[in-house]
Each structure stands twice: as C-alpha cells, then as structure tokens.
Homo-oligomer: A and B are copies of this chain.
Amino acid sequence: MSTAAIPSQPRKSFGSDNHAAVHPAIIQAITDANSGDAVAYGADPWTERATSELKRLTGAAGKALLVLNGSGANILGLGLLLGRHEAVICAESAHINTDECGAAEQVLGTKLLTVPAPNGKLTPELIADRLAGRGDEHFAQPSVVSVTQSTEFGTCYSLAELAKIHDFCAANELRVYMDGARLANAAAYLDCTLADLAQHADVLSFGGTKNGAMGVEALVVMRAEDTASAPYLRKQYMQLISKMRYLGAQMSALLEDDLWLRNARHANAMARRLADGLAGIPGVSLAYPVESDAVFAQLERRHIEALQRDWMFHVWDEEAGIVRWMTAFNTREEDVDQFLADIAASARTFRSV
C-alpha cells in the first residue's frame, strides 16, 4: 500500500484504527495503576485480573498472556504450536505474510505456505491444496493453519465457517492459530461471545491496540498442554516488559463492562454508515463485504487523489484503484458524514466533466 497522505487539516483519519488516540477509560486505568510499587514482569494484580478475565471470556483451559503488539502475538502464538521444522498455511493476504517484514521467517524459521484466498478467508479446500507434500522430506511440512478474524479485508468468517476449518484441521493433524488483532470487531459483527470464536482455535490473539488501548494484545492458549513454553518464548521474543502492570491495567479496563465490545460495535457501525452512504455515489463501489471496521472501495485514480488532499487513508491496490477506509472506536457520525459529503462532491465533479 502507498504511504498515507498527511492532509493539511486535522480531520478524522480514515487511515487506520491505529491512528486513533487511547480511550479515556484506559488512560484513566493507567493513571489509577500508577501508585506504589508492584512486582515486575507480570506478578501484579492488574495483570492477574486481566489474564483471568481473558481465560473466562474465551473459555480457555490453558493460559492468557499479555504481549506488546500484534506481530508479537502472532509470532509467539505460532511459535507455541510449531515444531522446530514445521510450516504454516495462511492466506496470501495474511498480515504475517504481507505486513510483518518477514518476522515469521526470521524469528520462527518457518515457511509460510500461502493460498490466494477470496475475501481473505481460507476454506478446507484451500487448505487441502497445500497438503500435497506431506510425509515427503523435500517439502515443507505444514502443522498450523493461521486464520485472521476479522480478515485483512474487513470480512468475517462465520462461526460455521470456522467450525468447518477447525474440524478439517483436527482431522488432518493441523492446529489452528487465530490472528485476532480485530477479534472484537468480529465478535461484534457476528453478535457472538469470544468463547464462540475461541473454541475454533488452539491459540488465538485478542487485540487491544486497534480497539482503544495504548499498546496491549493478549495471547490465549486454549489447552493447558500447549502452554509449557509460553513464558520462555515470550521472553525470548522480547514481548515481556518489566512494568507489566500498565499492560494489565489497559487490558482490564478494556474488558470491564464490555468496553472492548462497545468500542468494536461503534467502529463497525461507523464503517456500516460509511458503506451505506456510498451506495448512491456514482463511480464508487465496494471491493469487499463490509463486516467490521474496514471499508474497501474502488474508485478512479483522480478521485482518490482529490480525496487524499483533505483526508488521510491508504491506497491498498494502486493498479485496481482500491482504497481502505478504517473507522475506529472514536470515529463520530459527523466524521463519516463529512467524509461522505466530500466523496460525493468529488464524484459529481468528475461526472460533470
């Protein structure tokens, strides 16, 4: 994707849910935690509360760990499931394949066996395509399937789709890792619990940063027998900080009173509002179904350029003219409406030419 233009006016960014500030309740929780001494490296009550609650919400019998960013969660999560020589099956569009600078190969020494996946979603059939070389020492041996929920294109696997993948994997000696950097948005869209989603994974991440936190992600290991190496790999992968209480405080605040769900619902609603508003605008079409906080739209190059003068967002596919518009927990209805008005205005200009 091309670098986002930095507009001259401070309008709401549609560039990323990462551009948003931190939710006030989370800032408050950090401030509240800032009193007295606390044992370092996670043996503190804030971390304890957050991880217990994560286990409860996901129904995990294993372990929940807090980490520092999405790549950290992905690499650690895959590392817990991968044998020393094993490979990962994932969608070509998966974040671990396209956006982490090759961290999986570098840190895990694993090969990503990628699959072109419509809408960013794997299926048992697509996974089966990468199993041909099993048992032959010349071929990379997949043992983990990585699904992203919601996907990099803003789409969501239905619970039935996840169940099918999980069943297929269980029947084929494959484990399931779920990249849940935007798992909250999927739960909001599917109107399901985290446990409904987590039951279809062996290890999953649960993102906080894109959903209102400052910088915290959770990794949830569903089964006790998969947890043994988790603390050590987290340390080796540099995902443990000394003052863990501030990660614990962030995650606790996000989990309290379903703030995570309210934030995600709001962001999804804003994306929905944006998508609905595009309906009547000529020359703008949706590239993918809108099922979370992302709107992928296709429009003319000069139209994109006109909009980027005032609004911050990424062009996803230069050639196809596809842009990505992200909403966030703090996107307001008026931000969407103002953006829509500008899109429509530009569209009229071009049409009238």
Contacts and interface: CB of A to CB of B under 8 A. Distances in A.
Contact of A37 (B10, B68, B111, B238): B10
A98 interface: yes
A210 B40 CA distance: 11
Give the size category of A's interface with B. 35 or more
A199 interface: no
Interface of A, secondary structure class, is loop
- Stoichiometry (number of copies): 4
Interface string A248-275: 0000000000000000000000000000
A240 B231 CA distance: 20
A236 B107 contact: yes
Interface stretch (A83-91, A118-126, A185-193): A83-91
A99 to B, nearest CB: 5
Given A19-B40, A215-B243, A139 B98 contact: yes
Contacts of A71: 235, 238, 240
Contacts of A33: 21
Contacts of A229: 83-86
A10 B265 CA distance: 41
Interface string A1-36: 001101000101101101111101001001101111
B16 A34 contact: no
